[in-house]
Chain A
């Protein structure tokens, strides 16, 4: 029972046409539907549910909400009670609040980010089907991203005021939603402060990550690619389209993933993330990165700070 994986992200964009060119032509998602409010729903070719990305027209960039899929409808009732017993208010949105989607359990993480859980979303199938499938479909655009893989949320961290939303979110995810801690960055005297965490429910190194910063926000949403070769090709695609690349291609120490960070036309950071790194399991010992090796964890090859990576987010 419980959470299966990241289900979708709802992002605000300031220029829908430019956003669609980016997510379709650079990342390779396909538009599956639009609603009367102008929201556009997209999916990756290797996903089987109806959509994994909602783009909302807005006067600003950033995250509306992030949603995770749970296995069974009754999980929503069980988790609602657990979240409320933990002291966090919830709301059960009725079926159809989002198109092609069942009821959704809506609540805020201790950091304030809106999270939703759902069990039901319309099944449409992958682009290669389930019977004697090809390894990939014809006609993929751009990077041909397989699936929405994870997100990283920036959470307020202010030691002088005793605020550490990273640690609070991590505790909540572990104790209430049964995520397991995979990697962490610890800082301060004796490494007493959890400044960043990577948590999973699947067997990949992370399904969600939290990093401390001056204010809450969205650091990035990440799309999965197979290999380092696919990362190189994705960077070629970004060069061709004039996409603003933040960092990479390179490799993380944390999660061991191969990566490129780049921005959508409204400034929301995306990542293409390749390689499964290692088998993440609840009983796998937690990997810890210390303050002096933090940047080796983030960008393993150089180990050097990239200010935009920590200061720029929506």
Chain B
């Protein structure tokens, strides 16, 4: 009986360990000049969605559909899971291509959007004004 009470007491008083704060990094989209913050434990796509505009193609979020294909042209990313070889070949991966739903930044990152995402960005809702406005507050390493 005593041990049960002790166990319950422990349960009541112990607080869950706080999630360690992961460092946030700046991600620059080459074609539009937009910059967003993305932490080391979230995907490039999740951060991109916080840009809050339409046309960011969120697909399966599982690395299978290929709609969020990007090329990392500068900086380093870490893989958060497998990506479909139907959409990113080994050769492409070695050239920096990945899927934004399966990669997190390890530092400041510059991305080129490709494929479906590019179509959404350029035939969709991006205007020259958007590009000019966002470039004013461009990534720190660009200034």
Contacts and interface: CB of A to CB of B under 8 A. Distances in A.
Given A61-B65, A311-B116, A312-B65, A263 B84 contact: no
Q: Which 4 A-B pairs have the closest CB atoms?
A: A267-B64, A267-B60, A61-B64, A267-B62
Nearest to B83: A14
Contacts of B61: 244, 263, 267
Contacts of A178: none
A268 interface: yes
B67 A14 contact: no
B86 interface: yes
Interface of B: 57-65, 67, 81-87, 116
Contacts of A268: 60, 64
22 contacts: A14-B64, A14-B83, A15-B82, A18-B81, A60-B85, A60-B86, A60-B87, A61-B64, A62-B64, A244-B61, A263-B64, A266-B62, A266-B63, A266-B64, A267-B59, A267-B61, A268-B60, A268-B64, A308-B57, A308-B58, A313-B65, A314-B64
Tell me whether chain B's interface is mostly helix, strand or loop, or mixed.
loop
A264 interface: yes
Nearest to A312: B59
A270 to B, nearest CB: 11
Contacts of B60: 61, 244, 246, 263, 266-269, 312, 314
A133 interface: no
B82 A307 contact: no
Given A266-B62, A312-B59, A14 B82 contact: yes
A7 B41 CA distance: 41
A138 interface: no
Interface string A3-38: 000000000001100100000000000000000000
Interface of A is mostly: loop
A205 interface: no
Nearest to B82: A14
Contacts of A297: none
Interface in A235-250: 244, 246
Nearest to B68: A312
A265 interface: yes
A292 interface: no
A61 B67 CA distance: 13
Contacts of B58: 308
A59 interface: yes
Contact of A267 (B57, B65, B85, B116): B65
A62 B64 CA distance: 8
A310 to B, nearest CB: 12
Interface string A23-63: 00000000000000000000000000000000000011110
Contact of B84 (A18, A61, A264): A61
A252 to B, nearest CB: 21
Contacts of B64: 14, 60-62, 263, 266-268, 314
A267 B61 CA distance: 7
Given A14-B82, A14-B84, A267-B84, A314 B65 contact: yes
A314 B87 CA distance: 10
Contacts of A246: 60
Given A60-B86, A61-B84, A311-B116, A244 B62 contact: yes
Given A307-B57, A311-B116, A59 B85 contact: yes
Contacts of A14: 62-64, 81-84
A263 B62 contact: yes
Interface in A265-280: 265-269
Contact of A61 (B57, B86, B116): B86
B57 A265 contact: no
A159 B67 CA distance: 23
A244 B87 CA distance: 20
Nearest to A22: B62
Nearest to B124: A307
A312 B63 CA distance: 12
Contacts of B81: 14-15, 18
Tell which of A14, A267, A268, A314 has the most Cβ of chain B within 10 Å.
A267
A264 B58 CA distance: 15
